[in-house]
Amino acid sequence: MTPESNLSTIAYIGLGGNLENTLELLGSARKAIEAVPGVRELAFSSLYRSAPMGPVDQPDFVNAVMAVETSLAPRDLLKALQMIELSHGRVRTDQRWGPRTLDLDLLMFGLEQISDQWLTIPHAGIAGREFVLYPLAEIAPPHLAIPGMGILSDLVSACPRRGLEAIGHD
């Protein structure tokens, strides 16, 4: 993967998992993301514990959000994130919202809006997921516009915490 140009974009990445040693995996994934050529970490949120969204017969999830500056194109960044997932033991199954060692979601890529078979930006679930909104609000400007969804501070105000618990910083 090579940088598309000298222009850089701020992107937000959601990190999460609930299998094996989640805290170690999230820390390792953070380092792996920053090691991608054309990517530089700007901020990393606290870690948050939440009940699983899908099947309840699985461990709680731990989530965080990372802000990066990147010169990569959105699909190249997505490919890098998917390679990091694989290298951390991610096995994709047909079960939606099932347990996983590592989940990396490209939440936002500047103010771009993309919707195709490989990528949806902003991520379709941002507006209603407390485990994304609260860590995102911790590291992004409150007036951040999420294209097609609204202003971050308004979305956070409208989203209950539903048991979301901050558990510290990585």
Distance CA 127, CA 5 (A): 31
Distance CA 109, CA 11 (A): 4
> Active-site residue numbers?
90, 100, 103, 105
Peptide bond into 122 cis (omega under 30): yes
Can you spell out the DSSP letters for 37-56? TTEEEEEE-EEEEE--SS-S
Residue 4's pLDDT band, with cuts at 50, 70 and 90, is very low
Domain positions in the chain: 9-169
Distance CA 165, CA 150 (A): 24
Backbone angles phi, psi at 3, to 5 degrees: -60, 140
pLDDT at 97: 59
Higher pLDDT, 117 or 108: 108
Higher pLDDT, 94 or 23: 23
In terms of pTM, does the model score above 0.75?
Answer: yes
Instruction: Give the pLDDT mean for 100-128.
Output: 93
Q: Is the dihedral of CA 159, 81, 73, 43 positive or negative?
A: positive
pLDDT at 99: 74
* CATH (one of 3.40.50.150, 3.30.70.560, 3.40.50.10300, 3.20.20.140) for 9-169: 3.30.70.560
Instruction: Give the pLDDT mean for 29-55.
Output: 94
pLDDT at 100: 78
Q: Are strands 39-44 and 61-70 parallel, antiparallel or unpaired?
A: antiparallel
Could you identify the residue written with the tokens 């500056």?
A: 69
pLDDT at 57: 82
Higher pLDDT, 95 or 36: 36
